[in-house]
Structure 1
């Protein structure tokens, strides 16, 4: 399970295959609804043109939040110099 708090509009990736929805590990979606007081999440998967092709309720252990910036000062020090 992801230790980061998952919030509305977070960009997430699947951590498990969901073949019944034609979704597979690594696919990226957006949290569009908090379900069961944050115990589950409605995640919308869209194509490059912004058209939704699937929307499904997921448990926290099925997704991970993607980070586009360092999440802590420690993570910066672990980066290799160019």
Structure 2
């Protein structure tokens, strides 16, 4: 169960496949609207940055999703006390 609170404009990734919408686990979108009092979210999926055209991506799907269908992506350590370490394989 997703215990992290999802906020508007959070960057999220799908945790499930939705082939009927041509969306698959791992695809990244943005939570753009709260639905059903926060019980669901409108998530917008856009293509990548427009490169030489200097424009933002174009939306290719916008769909209502439940919190358990998405996860918030984090770009910083979860805790300020986290110590970075190198992982080798």
Relative to the length of structure 1, the TM-score reads 0.90
Do residues 68 (structure 1) and 67 (structure 2) align?
Answer: no
Instruction: List alignment gaps of at least 5 residues for structure 1.
Output: none
Q: How many residues align?
A: 80
How far 1:81 moved relative to its partner? 4.8
Larger Rg: 2
Q: Is there any run of 5+ residues in structure 2 with no aligned partner, and where?
A: 51-56
Aligned residue for 2:64, secondary structure, equals strand
The DSSP-based 3-state class of the residue aligned with 2:42 is strand
RMSD: 1.5
Matched residue of 1:31: which SS? strand
TM-score norm. by structure 2 comes to 0.83
Q: Secondary structure at the match of 2:37?
A: helix
Q: Whole-Å Cα distance in 2 between the matches of residues 6 and 81 of structure 1?
A: 29
| C-alpha distance after superposition, 1:6-60 (max 9, x if no partner) | 0000000000000000000000000000001110000000001310000000000
SS where residue 73 of structure 1 aligns?
Answer: coil
Aligned to 2:8: 8
Secondary structure in 1 matching 2:68: helix
Spell out structure 1 runs of 4+ moving beyond 3 A: none
